[in-house]
Structure 1
Amino acid sequence: MNATSALNDAQWSKLLEHVAEAYNEVTLSRGFNYFKQQHVTSVTMTEDRIVKARVEGNESYEVTISLDKPRSSHCTCPVHASCKHMAAVLMELADRMGYPASHIMNAKHQLKRAAAAPALGALQQQLPAMDVPEWHKKMGEFTATIKPAYDQGMYTDMLRVQLQMLKEIPFSETDKRFWALHQELFILKKVKEQNALGSVNYYTSFALYRIYDDIQASLRAAISSAFNPALAEERLTQTLAYLREQLAGETGQRYLEFGLYTELWTHWIAPYADTARWAEQELDAIRHMEVAPFSASLSAAESFLLMQLGKGKMAWQTLEAAGALKHAQLSVFLPFLSHLQSAGLWEDLTFWLVKTASCFYGKRTHELDAYTTYWKDVTAHYPPAEQEMWIVLEEMLPHSLRIIEDILYEREQWKPWLEMQIVQGRTPLHHRVSVLQPIEKESPLLLLPYYHQAVEQHVGLKNRQDYKAAVKLLKRLEKIYKKMKKPEAWNRFFQAFAERYSRLRALQEELKKGKLLP
């Protein structure tokens, strides 16, 4: 396919007209899935603008499309014309030539949008003077022709493509940031509405969580120096009001809206604004909301705001009194712990770590690792927390076993660390050589019981493989004795060892192979 064969805008419009007339929505939707799943292969174009392609599905079909005479196009499938295979090829062709494939799928709407271009220009000029609620109203009107799809990921893509048409808006740099955020919040709300209808399957519903992740990532992204906090106050107020409504409407214990709320606070308000004033205003607004039924996310937000005011213990009591802790996801606690850490409120952080400990009981997770990191930091800054940490970790056993080992190792507390290895029946072969190297360098004497116990353990199993492991350990042990400058002690031990197991012929053979015996 060469450059001279590329579609121009006029030809593209003609192609959209043909698609809108010849294809129905179900066929286009199925074709879009084939396109996304990369079922279209071997696309070529002749000089007379005939496109040939293969589409792999349950079977393989050959598609021939004439760009100049699209009605003469055909497919080898039973439908023959205007089928999902041809639709997929048209989308692949559009994508390769720089046109949005989603426009093929939504051809009728794209033609209507092109006809309404003057109205689009007027809307783009009006948006800067509108407030956030009006933004959402206009986005709803602008995407009204986008019909929900069974595939939420596809529905999200169509909404995004449509909203990207609103790109020539004379926004300030500050408003550009808020507009981008609210586009994603609008899409999120639309997808949530579809999710609530139960019209999506288990797998496509993950699109919802991807949107939450994308919004959180955008909130964490560095704010441009052109972003003016003083000019952002009105937009921030409107945005917080919008998020409060979403918090109030969230049911269950997912705390997804709470995650967005705390990210906005942490990255858009706390670094630039009078946090105490904003927190007081928000608390007042939340307490005057009429919410039914109970919203766990809204209670968590109230607790988070108390935390911003330095009332860490009251924040915990608010969560506890509201019953918001029952079945709470671990991630809900991380914004609280992160705030206390960054504010250097070590006593309050210790209090929260103790109180939330039972929520982290269970198998090791990303959240549990983060929880452990907070303990390490608080003990480094607030010595009284040391005893509390060990009490908590002991109560977490056996799930905290690995965590305890890591802390002991990081602190170079070699003796208790090695004792834990012995108690668990491990051998030095359980670790990479680099793990034991610092101990061998600093305290080689501590390694002797570990190696001796492991040698006896392998020999006691009385099989060839364990004999080989024992010999490998003995060779390392010999090096440790030499490093300690105690070759006589090694000789005494090994002589007694070889004599004690002289009747184990296989072991003797392995010792000779390892050049420990002549």
Structure 2
Amino acid sequence: MSTIPERFLEPLEFAAKELMGLLRADVEEDERLVQKGLLLFRQRLVYQVRFDGDKITAAVQDVTPVKVQLNLDFIHLSECSCPADGFCRHQLAVFFQLLSHAKSVTAWVEEWRQPLKEKKVAKQLGIQRAKDLLKTAGRQKPDYDRWIAAFNESFDTIMTGNGAPKPYVIPELYHVYTRRWKANTPFEQEWKLLYQLVASFFSFKKLMELSIELGHSGDIINRYYIHLFQDLMQDTVEVMNKLSVHSLPFAFDEFIEKLKEDSSDLLTVDFALEYERTQLYRLLWTKFFKKKAWCTEEIKKLRAIDNKNCPILVGILHLHILLGEDETALEYLSLPDKWMTPYFLYWIELFTIQREWKRMGPYVEEFIKKLREYLSVSDDYYAKRNYTNLVIRSIKPYFSETGRQELFEKALSETLPYSYGEYEYILFENEAYDKWADLQAFMNQDIDMLSNERIKAIEKREPTLLLPLYHHSIHSHIAHKGRDHYREAVRKLKKLRTLYKKLKRQEDWEFFLEALMEKTKRLRAFQEECKRGKLIDA
């Protein structure tokens, strides 16, 4: 192969960029994979490269020869005859073979390894700057403003002291910064936890500001360093839980008030991670800023802001809930706004912890009303199923305590098909067999997919409910055509015949069979299987 057809050049460029993200130089397994792919390519073990329509095929002579089909549009969907899972060395070798006729393979590898080199350099520079800071600083005394000034200096020096960091470098630099502020933790045991709380909160804010300054989108943050925000949230919760065990000294009051004043920044900033920052705000106000006067003052502060975004509205609602002003909160929550739906979970869990079942009821009812529309937003089936599982776990304690079975069934109905397993179990256990059968029909479930125990129990108690399930299965198998499906349809017909006989409805059976034979009279193979099964005369 001397050249690549021009129509493949653009997809090849796209695949080259996609592989940059698919494989990571700082992952040992990926590094070995690239090395092996390069070796096969450089030893000229790639041959028989063919371009057939949109397909690219090739052979690679490894220990045993393998066949590769490269998909440049979706490189991760490429195929190889070797037993390896995922993208393998043979697919890489073929990719390098193609790339060598369009650009430098060495340049691609160098660019791929560049982030790893930059991470190492950035880490070393960060460590050096942290050492320089340590020469001029020591253990912090209890002073909120000095703490913030020290955090600011450390963060700015380490994170941006060598210019704007690349997104993949941020975690490395951040861990250096974390070690730096931890080294300045006050000696006094009683101040350590408060210092850690302020540090975690401030670091969350500084990371937000840095992301905004660098123009990082939500996708970039999710790809490279969202775990930093999540870890900070977890650290904040752990510290607050430890602090809440004991009565806080009066000396903390000034610190807590200043932290409270700064907390609204989480809501007002224009930043991608809406849920994470709103959740941190709610956690702080639930566990730490408990005075009613503070909540009332904060509501006024947030209401005075023009152009209220979703986090600000959630913040206001949360404060009303903390004040016990449910009527006001529910008035907001009843508005047709699906983006408010994910925030219900925290409030429901809060009521559950406090065992405020009566108060919780209207919130659960409103939450259930919004579930179907919210689930329609995403196209990701697994994400919707996972969210539904989370919803069911959250609301289940309420129904266990109150016995509102009908409302629980409504929640399961609103979240179908993702709640099918739970709904099916509940209906069967409660012997609501008619609803159970309706659910199978709604889910288009073939009777083959249902357990024999379920079928036997229904056949014993309400056999009529099985008739539509058998009819559906029979028609489905016939529609799929093929001898195997026809034989399965005949087996189901025999069971259906037995069921009609048990119900003393032989005339209905004969009418159905006659109509079916007329409808399928051109399906010779199916008619033959019916004769073999002695459903009709030979």
Query: What TM-score do you get using the length of structure 1 for normalisation?
Result: 0.62
Change (3 A) 1:243 1:351: same
Q: Please identify, of 453-462 and 237-246, the stretch whose mean Cα deviation from structure 2 is larger.
A: 453-462
- The question of whether the paired residues in 2 share the 8 Å contact of 1:40 and 1:88 is answered with no
Secondary structure of the residue aligned to 2:278 is helix
- The question of whether the paired residues in 2 share the 8 Å contact of 1:279 and 1:309 is answered with yes
2:447 maps to which of 428, 439, 446: 428
CA displacement 1:449-493 (0-9 Å, x = unmatched): 145423542475465343133245357769x97xx9969999x97
d(CA) in 2 for partners of 1:180, 1:428 = 58
d(CA) in 2 for partners of 1:501, 1:77 = 66
Secondary structure of the residue aligned to 2:136 is helix
What is the correspondence of 1:71-110 to structure 2 with a 5 Å cutoff? 102=119, 104-108=121-125, 110=127
Change (3 A) 1:508 1:228: same
d(CA) in 1 for partners of 2:316, 2:200 = 24
Change (3 A) 1:387 1:457: same
Q: Which amino acid aligns with 1:217?
A: Q
d(CA) in 2 for partners of 1:487, 1:163 = 74
Change (3 A) 1:416 1:296: closer
Change (3 A) 1:205 1:87: closer
2:146 maps to which of 134, 138, 155: 134
Query: Which residue of the partner structure matches residue 345 of structure 2?
Result: 334
Query: Which residue of the partner structure matches residue 470 of structure 1?
Result: 489
Does 2:323 align with 1:312?
no
- What's the C-alpha RMSD, in Å, of the aligned pairs? 5.3
Secondary structure of the residue aligned to 2:339 is coil
Secondary structure of the residue aligned to 1:386 is helix
Does 2:297 align with 1:281?
no
Secondary structure of the residue aligned to 2:157 is coil
d(CA) in 2 for partners of 1:57, 1:329 = 51
Secondary structure of the residue aligned to 1:284 is helix
Does 2:209 align with 1:193?
yes
Secondary structure of the residue aligned to 2:220 is coil
1:428 positional shift: 0.4
Change (3 A) 1:514 1:180: farther
1:432 positional shift: 4.6
Q: Which amino acid aligns with 1:457?
A: H
CA displacement 1:397-435 (0-9 Å, x = unmatched): xx6466488435413222222134346654302x25368
1:317 positional shift: 2.9
Q: Which amino acid aligns with 2:323?
A: L
Q: Which runs of 5+ in 1 are unaligned?
A: 1-29, 43-52, 62-75, 92-100, 270-274
d(CA) in 2 for partners of 1:245, 1:84 = 38
- The question of whether the paired residues in 1 share the 8 Å contact of 2:437 and 2:465 is answered with yes
d(CA) in 1 for partners of 2:176, 2:298 = 35
1:224 positional shift: 7.5
1:154 positional shift: 1.8
2:228 maps to which of 207, 211, 215: 211
Q: Which runs of 5+ in 2 are unaligned?
A: 1-19, 43-103
- The question of whether the paired residues in 2 share the 8 Å contact of 1:153 and 1:204 is answered with no
- The question of whether the paired residues in 1 share the 8 Å contact of 2:197 and 2:240 is answered with no
Q: Which amino acid aligns with 1:190?
A: K
CA displacement 1:207-231 (0-9 Å, x = unmatched): 4643333333334559776874313
Change (3 A) 1:41 1:105: same
1:260 positional shift: 0.9
d(CA) in 2 for partners of 1:306, 1:41 = 53
Change (3 A) 1:379 1:118: closer
Q: Which amino acid aligns with 1:191?
A: L
Change (3 A) 1:487 1:303: closer
Q: Please identify, of 469-478 and 133-142, the stretch whose mean Cα deviation from structure 2 is larger.
A: 469-478
- The question of whether the paired residues in 2 share the 8 Å contact of 1:459 and 1:467 is answered with yes
d(CA) in 2 for partners of 1:379, 1:306 = 25
What is the correspondence of 1:43-54 to structure 2 with a 5 Å cutoff? none
- The question of whether the paired residues in 1 share the 8 Å contact of 2:348 and 2:363 is answered with yes
Does 2:264 align with 1:244?
yes
- The question of whether the paired residues in 2 share the 8 Å contact of 1:215 and 1:260 is answered with no
1:137 positional shift: 1.9
Secondary structure of the residue aligned to 2:156 is coil
d(CA) in 1 for partners of 2:282, 2:130 = 37
What is the correspondence of 1:218-229 to structure 2 with a 5 Å cutoff? 218-219=235-236, 221=238, 228-229=245-246
d(CA) in 1 for partners of 2:278, 2:191 = 23
Change (3 A) 1:406 1:110: closer
Query: Which residue of the partner structure matches residue 361 of structure 2?
Result: 350
Change (3 A) 1:216 1:488: same
Query: Which residue of the partner structure matches residue 25 of structure 1?
Result: none
Query: Which residue of the partner structure matches residue 259 of structure 1?
Result: 279
1:142 positional shift: 1.7
- The question of whether the paired residues in 1 share the 8 Å contact of 2:474 and 2:492 is answered with no
1:243 positional shift: 1.8
1:135 positional shift: 2.3
1:164 positional shift: 0.6
Query: What TM-score do you get using the length of structure 2 for normalisation?
Result: 0.60
d(CA) in 1 for partners of 2:113, 2:419 = 57
Tell me the number of residue pairs that the alignment of Structure 1 and Structure 2 aligns: 427
1:105 positional shift: 2.8
d(CA) in 1 for partners of 2:129, 2:231 = 30
1:138 positional shift: 0.7
Q: Greater helix percent: which structure?
A: 2
1:114 maps to which of 131, 135, 138: 131
Change (3 A) 1:165 1:103: farther
- The question of whether the paired residues in 1 share the 8 Å contact of 2:266 and 2:281 is answered with no
- The question of whether the paired residues in 1 share the 8 Å contact of 2:458 and 2:465 is answered with yes
1:180 positional shift: 4.0
Query: Which residue of the partner structure matches residue 423 of structure 2?
Result: 407
d(CA) in 2 for partners of 1:85, 1:387 = 54
Q: Which amino acid aligns with 2:156?
A: A
CA displacement 1:147-196 (0-9 Å, x = unmatched): 25453342243022133134443455664444444444334323322332
